[in-house]
Amino acid sequence: MAIGRQFSIMHVVLEPRYSGAEVLVRDLVRIQAAAGHRTSIAAFRPSQDNFAGELRSLERQGCELHIPARNLEKWGRLSWMRAAVRSAKPDVVFAHSILPSVYTRLALRLTRSPAVITVLHTDDDLADPALGRLERLVYGRNACVVGVSPKSLENYQRRTRGRMPTRVLRNGIDVAHFAEPAKDHRKWRDKVYAAAGEEIIALQVGRISIQKQQHVSVEALVRLQAKGMSNIRLVLAGLCEDAQYMEKVLRCARDGGVEDRVQLVGAQGNIAEMLAGADLFLMPSGWEAHSVAALEALASGVFCLFSGIDAFQDLRTYPGVAMIGAPPAAEDLGNSLEDVARSNAWGRRYERDLDRFSISRCAAEYMKVIEEYPGRGSISRSFRNP
């Protein structure tokens, strides 16, 4: 990436972990550091253990880390953030998701630099009224608000009623990282899953939460079993965000008699290999903004089943993609799974042109924003809330 000036770029996350926003930050930092920019990452919680290796790799690349040894709360977050900025001296701070952004802007409220750019990673980051009230306190400290989808910005502007400069920067992935392992599907199917000959591996990647609708996938499995189809194994990969919801998923599997064919494997760092070995990818989400996991699955060539929400509408034109209704229903997903399984559509890989979702494209768009806003600690008064 050739540019005329080198920048100091900080990314702020709540917690380093294998989740969409944090994986995006990891990939952006790799590219930015390789291009000669100073990079840093700040967080308000310790890294999850299985993500620590990713941070060490970034540190070897020159990234300055400000990751606490324990969970920080309220005022502790403000002093931590101020100290991180004094150390890293960033020209621009990308604060990923609304909670890290609010605390970052509260910490830097009385300063005019660095520029702070909020990145909205869900379709409605201010649905929580308490967050909405906090946002109105520090709204004007944004230099710009970035959304990963138009919907995320529409909802932000509706809830703040402000006229903040905005940009849509869709997520990107390292396409080759997911396409290459998929060339050896049989190897990864055996190594990752030790799958039996006629067994179909259905993988779902995402936080265990009501948003991701894992219980719908389990209920679909129960319905298929009632029809005599018991050769599908459901593998759920993702960190547990809601313990009560996870118990609901497990209870559904127990009550439906499919407990032996539902695996919860937690957050994983080898998603490329898991996708390469899977036969189907399920994503019956209730809502999304712009899903990194969906892009990774498409890049792997695996057959994909998505819910028909707005975020997935532009994916339906790819080969090897089927859509169910929105909101997702177990009957609909079960019927689609049955059709796919009986037609053997799961038994091949699909070539898809994903250039528009590449991480290099995404990183280049972030650089355009960086070049526009460095040194602008706050926007002009004409853009502030009345």
Q: Specify the residue for token string 């528009």.
A: 356
Helix residue ranges per DSSP H, the chain: 20-34, 52-60, 75-88, 98-107, 129-138, 150-160, 175-179, 185-188, 214-226, 243-255, 271-277, 292-300, 330-343, 359-372
Q: Output the pLDDT for position 382.
A: 27
Distance between terminal CA atoms of the chain? 40
Per-residue pLDDT tens digits for 233-244: 999 999 998 999
CA distance 229 to 342: 10
For residue 303, the SS3 value is: strand
Look up residue 88 and give its two tokens: 């890293």
Residue 17, C-beta contacts closer than 8 angstroms, at least 6 positions apart:
47, 48, 51, 239, 267
Which tens digits make up the pLDDT trace of 164-185?
Answer: 899 999 999 999 999 999 999 9
Integer CA distances (angstroms), 170 to 90, 166, 287, 297, 358, in order: 23, 13, 16, 16, 10
Residue 213 has pLDDT above 60, yes or no: yes
pTM > 0.85? yes
Which residues face 11 on adjacent strands? 41, 94
Closest residue by Cα to residue 12 from 74, 96, 98, 130: 96
Report whether pLDDT(227) > 50: yes
Query: How does residue 379 score in pLDDT terms, banded at 50, 70 and 90?
Result: very low
Q: What share of the chain in percent tops pLDDT 70? A: 96
Q: What is the pLDDT of residues 317-362, one digit of tens each?
A: 999 999 999 999 999 999 999 999 999 899 999 999 999 999 999 9
Q: Per DSSP, what are the bridge partners of residue 233?
A: 201
Q: Locate CATH 3.40.50.2000 in the chain.
A: 8-172+358-379, 175-354
CA dist 367 and 7 (Å) reads: 10
Buried b (16+ CB within 10 A) or exposed e, 348-372: eebebebeebbbeebbebbbebbee
Whole-number pLDDT of residue 13: 98
Q: Is the predicted pLDDT of residue 5 greater than 50, yes or no?
A: yes
- Is residue 1 pLDDT above 70, yes or no? no
Look at the block and give the residue holding tokens 């809830």. 159
What mean pLDDT, rounded, does the chain reach? 93
pLDDT in the model for residue 4: 60
Quickly state the pLDDT bin for 162 (edges 50, 70, 90).
confident
3-state secondary structure of 96: strand
Average pLDDT over residues 130-139: 90
Residue among 301, 310, 295 at smallest CA distance from 359: 295
φ/ψ region of 385 (left if φ > 0, alpha if ψ in -120 to 50, else beta) reads beta
pLDDT of residue 376: 55
Q: Which residue, 361, 365, 379, is CA-closest to 146?
A: 365
- Higher pLDDT pick, 125 / 24: 24
3-state secondary structure string across 305-344: EEECCHHHHHHCCCCCEEEECCCCCHHHHHHHHHHHHHHC
Closest by CA to 52, choosing from 102, 100, 17, is: 17
Domain 8-172+358-379 is classified in which CATH homologous superfamily? Answer: Glycogen Phosphorylase B; (3.40.50.2000)
As a whole number of angstroms, the longest Cα–Cα distance in the chain is 66
Superfamily of domain 175-354 in CATH is: Glycogen Phosphorylase B; (3.40.50.2000)
Q: What is the pLDDT of residues 53-96, one digit of tens each?
A: 999 999 999 999 999 999 999 999 999 999 999 999 999 999 99
Residue 2, pLDDT score: 43
| Residue whose structure tokens are 């101020």 | 82
- Residue 200 Cα distances to 182, 229, 270, 344, angstroms: 16, 11, 20, 10
pLDDT in tens, 275-311: 999 999 999 999 998 999 999 999 999 999 999 999 9
The pLDDT of residue 164 is: 84
Minimum mean pLDDT range among 133-142, 199-208, 265-274: 133-142
Q: Give the model's pLDDT for residue 142.
A: 94
